[in-house]
Amino acid sequence: MAENWLGLDFGSSGARAVVIGRQAEVLAEARLDWGKPDPERLAQDWRETLFELISQIPFNYRADLKAIAIDGTSSTSLLCDAENRPLLPPLLYNDARAEHEVQLLREVAPPDHVTLSATSSLAKLLWLQRQPGTRSARHFTHQANWLAALLHGRPGISDYHNSLKLGYDVEAMRYPDWLLNLPVAPLLPQVLEPGTVIAPVLDAMAKKLGVAKDCEIRAGTTDSIAAFLAAGATLPGQAVTSLGSTLVLKLLSTTRVEAAEYGVYSHKLGKLWLAGGASNAGGAVLRAFFSDEQLRVLSKRIAPATPSGLDYYPLLTKGERFPVNDPALQPRLTPRPADDVAFLHGLLEGLSRIEARGYRLLEQLGATPLLSVLSAGGGATNPAWSAMREKMMGVPVQAAKHGEAAYGAALLAAGGTKLLCFE
């Protein structure tokens, strides 16, 4: 009998589904991009997208599914009643309205704690809890966990990746006392290791979606960690750089690294830690000057072994946090050569310097030294850029095995972090 596993990714630009087989090969894929979001309909749109994505998977694969895991955007949050019905529209990952709540948290949380941000899950929970119409609230949940509960019917269960910015202590594997003393403590979810079996799919859902009745729903993760899992890094010192609109660096380490001033914190992966930071520089700067076709053509004319002679720090607007903590740092994009090839060379070189400096900073903060880098995102297939990065970091640079976060979620469905050997 065939055995398949389904990963679902709910990201910032759309939702994806990937089915893998016994050899972790991709058997089927589906995708739905978001239109212009209506804040009042977000939860309803997510629910409809979840069902539509699963329905797009060929029936023969759906009928043989052994497990499903879902990832979602970090800190995207909902407050629900006992039946898992949202009481208010969800708050998205980048929603920063909870500034007042951060000031309250500063009185009880440890200095520089990961929750001390207006976009953290805990700040959002405090904000949601004091809104009118929430007296029937029973569960605070994250996007991935809410969607999973639609399938397994047990609201109030989370994973420790999504719960990190809720204040969950991933070393002690419990909520800290200062958090349990807050009035919102009864709303906190039960926290499981990502990939843990929660329950089989509800009978009604199995029938509705054509999914095997014994298909298990496993605890999920965040979209960025699912993308890391998809890339294929498994050993301390291996890293994944996401070359998207911004540069996001993630490094597997035997030691936990935290540095709030740089926006650096670590997720737990099995017995290892995933230390990360994000620069404001990245592909958005490149696209401010060049189309995708221009980037492809011009990059072929760059001689990456020859220095550009330009000292760029490619930002779109002022301000940087990682690897430089300077909110007043100005973009450095001059002088601009008349030759577009030379200008692009300088931009790519500047981004390569930022990446190399970022990994050096993670090592200085105590992370395992860098051994190799896998590249994900639009810039992963640019040979000239890869050559520059390899020269500056002094380690091998290769394209990631898989670029879709949904593939990482599918691996999680197939066996969790233990299967992926993060030991």
CB 107 within 8 A of CB 157: no
Helix residue ranges per DSSP H, 153-202:
177-180
Identity at 297, one-letter amino acid code = V
With 60 as the cut, is the pLDDT of residue 143 above it? yes
**Long-range contacts from 336-344, C-beta under 8 angstroms, 24+ separation:** 337/310, 340/290, 340/294, 340/298, 341/298, 341/301, 341/302, 342/308, 342/310, 343/289, 344/286, 344/289, 344/290, 344/295, 344/298, 344/299, 344/302
Of the candidate ranges 215-219, 222-226, 342-346, the one whose mean pLDDT is the lowest: 222-226
207/209 Cα distance (integer angstroms): 6
* Residue 417, pLDDT above cutoff 70: no
> Has residue 418 got a pLDDT over 60?
no
In the chain, the percentage of residues whose pLDDT exceeds 90 is 91
The stretch 264-274 carries a mean pLDDT of: 94
Scanning the structure block, which residue is given the tokens 């809890």?
A: 129
Q: What is the largest CA-CA distance in the chain?
A: 65
Task: Give the pLDDT band of residue 422 (cuts 50, 70, 90).
Answer: low
Within 10 Å of residue 95's Cβ, how many Cβ atoms? 17
Return the SS3 of 365.
coil
Structure confidence at residue 37 (pLDDT): 79
Q: Summarize the confidence of residues 192-215 as an average pLDDT.
A: 96
The residue among 5, 15, 6 whose CA lies nearest residue 223 is 15
Average confidence (pLDDT) over 59-72? 96
The pLDDT tens digits of the residues spanning 10-64 come to 988 899 999 999 999 999 999 999 888 788 899 999 999 999 999 999 999 999 9
Confidence at residue 38, expressed as pLDDT on a 0 to 100 scale: 86
What percent of the chain has pLDDT above 70? 98
Q: Determine if the pTM surpasses 0.75.
A: yes
Q: Is 90 exceeded by the pLDDT of residue 419?
A: no
Statement: residue 69 has pLDDT above 90: yes
Which pLDDT score, from 0 to 100, does residue 135 have?
A: 94
Average pLDDT of the chain, as a whole number = 95
Confidence of residue 273 (pLDDT cuts 50, 70, 90): very high
**8 in helix, strand or coil?**
strand
Confidence of residue 355 (pLDDT cuts 50, 70, 90): very high
pLDDT of residue 423: 56
